[in-house]
Amino acid sequence: MDTIKANFQKISEQARQDHAKVEMLIAGGETISIGFSKKKLESFESTQSQVAGLRVIAGAKQGYAYTENLSEESLLRTYREALNNAQTVRAANNTEVPMVKPQPVQAMDGLFKPQEVPMEQKIAVARDLEEKCLSKDARIQSVPYSGFSDSLSFKRILNSEGLDQEFKQNYYSGYVYPLAKEGDSTKTSGEGFFVRSFGDIKVDEVVDEGVRKALANLGAQKLSTGKYAVVIDRSQFPMILQMLSSYLSAKTVHQGKSLLEGKLGQKIVSEKFQLVDNPFEITGSAVRPFDDEGAPSQKTVLFENGVLKNFLTNLEYAQKMKLPHTASASRSPASELDISPSNLVMAKGSADFSELVRRYDKVLHITEFEAGLHSSFKSSTGDISMPSSGFLYENGKCVGPVEQFVVAGNVLELLQNIEELGNEYNKPGSSKICPDVLVKPMSVAGA
Amino acid sequence: MIVQPQILTKALDAALSTGADFADIFLEDTYSSNLSLLNSQPDKAIVGQLYGAGIRLFFGHEIIYVTTNDLSEAGLVKAALNAAQTRGVGAAKKTLPLMQVPFDSIHTYGEKPWEMNRDRKFRWLASLDQHSRARSSAVTQVEAGLNEKYQRVQIANSKGVMSYDERAYTRLRFETFVETNGVKESAYEDEGHMGTSEIYDQINLKDLADTSVDRALLLAKADYAPAGEMPVIIDNAFGGVIFHEACGHGLETTSVAKEASVFCGKLGQKIAHESVTAIDDGTIANGWGSLMVDDEGNATKKTTLIENGVLKSYIVDEMGARQTGYEATGSGRRQSYKYAPASRMRNTYIAAGKDKFEDMVRDVDYGLYTKKLGGGSVNPGTGDYNFQAVEAYIIRNGRIEEPVKGACLIGRGIDTLGKITKVSDDLKLARGMCGSVSGSIPAAVGQPQILVSSLMVGGRAK
């Protein structure tokens, strides 16, 4: 028996004596990150992490504690803190919080394939990412941010019902962020990759695309205020799905904070909008064979022809709200049990990009939402106010880059106004897989 | 003290064994507690511990950084050797004898978070809930949380410096949700400082609750902001986020050394209207973004960044000092040992001017007054920034009139600096969390009220 299991059994025994149940989530990993600046190695970071998070269930109450010290003594102390925390909170009712029982999970091949790649090759990828950007075009002045990472992550869940599941994955990722300058105009643009095999890294493609985008934005003009049909680029639409995702949680619904409350079975967005939660989609970054309380993963249809089909649940909220259990429990060792999607996969359409920008006389192609969710989205109302940049198309032809405008409205209205979908998906490595999206004319605030 | 100096010396020597010309070790033991209240009841309690070390080596301008959770002698030496062997091929160097910098903090702390009675903490949260619900029957929910962090750090470097610091942070955050005439809205408030939680016995929590409820009700009836370029008066306190985003990030050597900042090469030049003087100060007693020593073991400082419109200093960490030749400003900061330090802001503000707020309003025929700003972001390479106004009013004919919501301010730092035409005499600071290359750290922002003669307001097209 390994040390973790042996230590957990002692905690579990203590919990039995305390008339409590306990779950331990251990998550961590190893990452090597390499960055170049001005054609010289700038940083080489090798980080390791391992955190144990204990969830103690005492009847209808739950408490949490975590530690980075995985010794027996530290874990037992952390267990006692979690038990104390469970006794601190109040339970909404007297229903005992359920715990997942051991069940078989679907094997997922191809996620954990550590390779013996010489360090020099990894450093060469980081070097090439920067140097090739610099030599691509004289207008590329610098590459303020670029880097390569080799990552391995793991997650293990043990509970007092006898469950013990482990999941590991490794992947390689990198990015470039070149800065282009011409006259008074300075522009940056980011591009990256995410692959599960070192041999699949295509530095030239990333460099070409990063440089192309930075240069294309040079000389951007302000946009006049008005209503514009909008194509939200497939690289940016994940942000819209992120806004939607918290509303899909049964917990959010139960707390009265979801705009989708009471809408199950209703058509609430465009019939073009189809959305599935797919934890098995390995091009996505949120792949998982089991959720964060150890329940075997499953696919869940969320929207079909614009109709809301399901909310996402964990075991507790499936029981509490009498909804199907979708195995969508999520937490980190340092946070409470929540509910969140795995990979959200939208159905794509059949239209080429050129068809999308021809649908209206004027179409605004948004290639960058400049602000994060924390400032551009208000969850309690669904209101969005998103500073953006992109390109203006007139009669299907690109007129030029535009900047400093704000797309404003409401996220549900935006989803209702989806008119057409592109026929290509965004690049692998996002947990939101989606095509370009044409939205009917909406309010855009500019100069 | 987390680890004895002789152990640190062995680890530093191991780090220098292959030719690194500098090494430091950052050790951390941090207690965190996160309590929250929902439906007027204690809803969540999580406590935890971070315990680890980050070892950093300089080979000229190259940085090697490794982390470990094993703070034993063997664990630290092994991590240091791993780091050294990653890149090194040169001759070994030795650490200078470690000299302890006296720990004599200007910040005062009360009861440690793990010692304080938890019922007392929940009473503060319950009081916010009760005051909010008493303020208006339109309140449907109150979510309140208390986050406490107590960080103990020990830093030693091969130049012989050994420092120790304790940083306590506490932050009360809550959001009130209202529903009135079928319209749902919410508003967020927070209160926090560098220190421990007993301060909430002195703070008027009723005022805080009333402010939040009143703002939510105001937003529920407010129309959306107009769009276009117009004069904007930005209020004091959190209004200072404009300077933080628009300029502060571009003054960090993390950007400057890479020539990824519009402020590169502008030291000594006039970069702002002469009414603007800006400071980054780590020395304010119990200030939200204050330090005693920074995360590189250097004593923190008060740094004048801009004086009467002229750029006087960048924000410089050790590597930034090497790369640019400017002296370090005690500004090396990081979220935890999991991040290598970088040059970061502390308490950053525009100094008080001479103008009166009332006169500034009177000067505007048609514009926007932003009373409270929300979050924002900046691209340091271009200086393009944006931030949201969570409470704003139209100014018409020199008077503050109806409230508007959904206003987003967009600009380019260097342009905006030149358009700050008036600076009031009423300076206030406020708390924020700043995210950048070395993680999320407490940073205060601040300013007096300022008038920007023309700024892009992204509202809604009519």
Q: Sign of dihedral through CA atoms A191, A196, A202, A205?
A: negative
A190 neighbors A176 (Cβ within 8 angstroms) = yes
Q: What mean pLDDT comes out for the span B4-10?
A: 96
DSSP secondary structure string for all residues of B134-187: HH-TTEEEEEEEEEEEEEEEEEEETTSEEEEEEEEEEEEEEEEEEEETTEEEEE
Residue B32 reports pLDDT greater than 80: yes
Q: What mean pLDDT comes out for the span B43-47?
A: 94
Predicted pLDDT of residue B2: 78
Cα distances (Å, whole numbers) of residue B398 to A174, B367, B369: 52, 9, 11
* Nearest-CB residue to B62 (from A42, A88, A381): A42
Predicted pLDDT of residue A176: 97
Bridge pairing between strands A21-37 and A140-159: antiparallel
Read off the pLDDT of residues B394-417 as tens digits, 9 standing for 90 and up: 999 999 999 999 899 999 888 998
Spatial separation of the C-alpha atoms in residues A232 and A253, rounded to whole Å: 28
The token duo for A345 is: 């996969």
Read off the pLDDT of residues A329-364 as tens digits, 9 standing for 90 and up: 999 999 999 999 999 999 999 999 999 999 999 999
* Nearest-CB residue to B386 (from A43, A142, A387): A387
Residue B375 reports pLDDT greater than 90: no
| % residues pLDDT > 90 (chain A) | 89
CA-based R_g, chain B, Å: 24
Read off the pLDDT of residues B246-275 as tens digits, 9 standing for 90 and up: 899 999 999 899 888 889 999 999 999 998
Spatial separation of the C-alpha atoms in residues B121 and B446, rounded to whole Å: 28
- A64 CB neighbours in chain B (<8 A) are 44-47
- A444 CB neighbours in chain B (<8 A) are 461
Cα distances (Å, whole numbers) of residue B383 to A210, B255, B346: 19, 11, 20
Of the pLDDT bands very low, low, confident and very high (cuts 50, 70, 90), residue B462 is low
Q: What mean pLDDT comes out for the span A35-45?
A: 92
Predicted pLDDT of residue A309: 98
Residue B323 reports pLDDT greater than 90: yes
Of the pLDDT bands very low, low, confident and very high (cuts 50, 70, 90), residue A297 is very high
* Nearest-CB residue to A334 (from B46, B67, B411): B46
Q: What's the mean pLDDT when you consider all of chain A?
A: 95
Read off the pLDDT of residues B150-188 as tens digits, 9 standing for 90 and up: 999 999 999 999 999 999 999 999 999 999 999 999 999
Predicted pLDDT of residue B381: 77
CB contact under 8 A, B227 and A45: no
Burial class (CB in 10 A: 0-12, 13-18, 19+), A397: exposed
Residue A372 reports pLDDT greater than 90: no
* Nearest-CB residue to B461 (from A85, A372, A445): A445
Domain residue extents for chain B: 228-458
B317 neighbors B334 (Cβ within 8 angstroms) = no
Of the pLDDT bands very low, low, confident and very high (cuts 50, 70, 90), residue B461 is low
Q: Is A90 on the interface with B (CB under 8 A)?
A: yes
Read off the pLDDT of residues A90-145 as tens digits, 9 standing for 90 and up: 887 788 999 999 999 998 888 999 999 999 999 999 999 999 999 999 999 999 89
Spatial separation of the C-alpha atoms in residues B331 and B27, rounded to whole Å: 18
CB contact under 8 A, A81 and B47: yes
Instruction: Specify which residues B440 forms β-bridges with.
Output: B435
- B258 CB neighbours in chain A (<8 A) are 37-38, 142, 144
Predicted pLDDT of residue B104: 82
Bridge pairing between strands A21-37 and A40-58: antiparallel
A231 neighbors A210 (Cβ within 8 angstroms) = no
A333 neighbors A27 (Cβ within 8 angstroms) = yes
Residue A382 reports pLDDT greater than 90: yes
Of the pLDDT bands very low, low, confident and very high (cuts 50, 70, 90), residue B459 is confident
Of residues A446 and B396, more confidence is placed in B396
Spatial separation of the C-alpha atoms in residues B282 and B289, rounded to whole Å: 7
Residue A161 reports pLDDT greater than 70: yes
Spatial separation of the C-alpha atoms in residues B58 and B319, rounded to whole Å: 8
- B251 by DSSP, 3-state: which? helix
CB contact under 8 A, A42 and B64: no
* Nearest-CB residue to B377 (from A44, A53, A371): A371
Cα distances (Å, whole numbers) of residue B32 to A43, A334, B125, B261: 30, 10, 17, 35
- A50 CB neighbours in chain B (<8 A) are 69
User: What part of A 340-399 touches B (C-beta under 8 Å)?
Assistant: 370-372, 374-376, 378, 380-381, 383, 385-387
Predicted pLDDT of residue B1: 64
* Nearest-Cα residue of chain A relative to residue B176: A380
Spatial separation of the C-alpha atoms in residues B323 and A402, rounded to whole Å: 35
Of the pLDDT bands very low, low, confident and very high (cuts 50, 70, 90), residue B105 is confident
Spatial separation of the C-alpha atoms in residues B266 and B258, rounded to whole Å: 14
- A380 by DSSP, 3-state: which? coil
Domain residue extents for chain A: 220-447
* Nearest-Cα residue of chain B relative to residue A45: B65
Please state, as a whole number, how many other Cβ atoms lie within 10 Å of the Cβ of residue B91. 9
